[in-house]
A = this chain, B = another copy of it.
Amino acid sequence: MTNFTYRNPVKILFGEGRITELGSEIKAAGYKKVLLLAGGGSIVENGVYDIITKSLKDNNILWQSFWDVRPNPELEHANNAIAIIKEHDLEAIIAVGGGSVIDEAKAIAAGYYLKDLWNAFEGKEKIKKALPIFTVLTLSATTSEMNPYAVLSNSEEKKKWAIGSPLLHPRVSIIDPNVQMSLPWRQTANGGVDAISHLLENYVAGSDFEPTKAIIEALMKTIIISIDKLKINDQDKQARADFAWATTLSLNGLTALGMTGEWAAHTMEHSISAYFPKVAHGEGLSVLFPAWLTYAKDQNYDHFTRWAKNVWGVETPEEGIAALKAKFKSWDAPTSLDDLKISEKYIPKLAQNASMQGKVGMKWKLGIDELTEIYKLALH
């Protein structure tokens, strides 16, 4: 029997022109002074910043901008943001960007009420309160816009760890897929890999629960088809919309119900990021997933046979994994540690780092030996 608890109260405004509604949403929620958190200047170039600030002005909302969130957001930057919120008595956070910006916004939202933000990541301090978060998504990949999780890097301690709390669900998330038209292909493809990898983390261990398995397969196919279309024409509006929503559903709780989330490849990828911070999350996952599935399939052969048939239209798990790898390659994503220029000598360090919080995964408890084996499968 499948038992679970599910609640996802995030309000989604999806589609063309919805960003103009940001100010009225914040006003309706009763906030007047906000932090506007963002990454680099791309939101200035693509016009999103102008739309947002106009919407805030029109609703008499004051904002303090705070820029330069990194692709792997950093503890120090989050702590600096908390100081600014306190200095200016800000009441809420607007995250404008992709998963990194939204993740850091969540860390800030929780950290504002904590003695020490990193304590929450170490499990030493509980999140009991958080500032309200509003998001404007500019890159579909992580589903941070519709879930209560955040990943932050503590580069000093080479840790890239996660927190989660129902208090960290954004209040409102605005998804206008059109603003993603100007993304470089590499980022679109990484987003596709990331979303597929989230679906796979929940799917890999199998389950008797038919609805979630069927939904995961449906979303996986939708993402593959839409990224394939965007490879041909990155201005395909319908494909952008299809991809954006399928990706938002990939990790918003729905696809975890009745499943055993493994998160082994993610833990292994976080170790790569810790040593090689320039490797994008999607790139690390693209390398690790074919290897991790190759390890996992033998222990769950029937389930992977179903996956091969339903998602790839092939007969065996081996063919399915080969199809996945070929698909990632066709999207110009790296599929080996070689491609990332990470040599075999780093594997002991990576395996050590990945097991820092104990054995990895739920169904298969991976220790250093198994992690080493999977990293080795990813070598070439």
Interface membership of A208, Cβ < 8 A? yes
Interface membership of A226, Cβ < 8 A? yes
Q: Which residues of B contact A208 (CB under 8 A)?
A: 238
**Nearest Cβ distance between residue A361 and chain B, in whole angstroms?**
23
Expressed in whole angstroms, the Cα–Cα distance for A57 and B209 within the complex equals 34
CB-CB contacts below 8 Å: A217-275 with B: 217-219, 221-222, 225-226, 237-238, 241-242, 245-246, 249, 254, 257-258
Expressed in whole angstroms, the Cα–Cα distance for A208 and B177 within the complex equals 15
Interface membership of A215, Cβ < 8 A? yes
Task: Give the contacting residue for A211; candidates B3, B217, B222; CB below 8 A.
Answer: B222
**Nearest Cβ distance between residue A20 and chain B, in whole angstroms?**
12
CB nearest neighbor in B for A245: B211
Expressed in whole angstroms, the Cα–Cα distance for A16 and B258 within the complex equals 13
Q: Which residues of B contact A17 (CB under 8 A)?
A: 3
Given known A7-B10, A7-B12, A11-B6, contact A1–B211 (CB-CB < 8 A): no
Expressed in whole angstroms, the Cα–Cα distance for A308 and B318 within the complex equals 30
Interface membership of A161, Cβ < 8 A? no
Q: What's the tally of chain A residues with a CB closer than 8 Å to chain B? A: 44
Assess the B6–A9 pair: CB atoms within 8 A.
Answer: no
Expressed in whole angstroms, the Cα–Cα distance for A222 and B217 within the complex equals 12
Task: Give the contacting residue for A18; candidates B3, B8, B246; CB below 8 A.
Answer: B3
Given known A8-B8, A15-B4, contact A210–B237 (CB-CB < 8 A): no
Q: Which residues of B contact A279 (CB under 8 A)?
A: none
**Nearest Cβ distance between residue A279 and chain B, in whole angstroms?**
29
Q: Which residues of B contact A18 (CB under 8 A)?
A: 3
Assess the B241–A225 pair: CB atoms within 8 A.
Answer: no
Expressed in whole angstroms, the Cα–Cα distance for A217 and B211 within the complex equals 11
Which A residues lie at the B interface, using CB under 8 A? 1-18, 177-178, 208-212, 214-215, 217-219, 221-222, 225-226, 237-238, 241-242, 245-246, 249, 254, 257-258
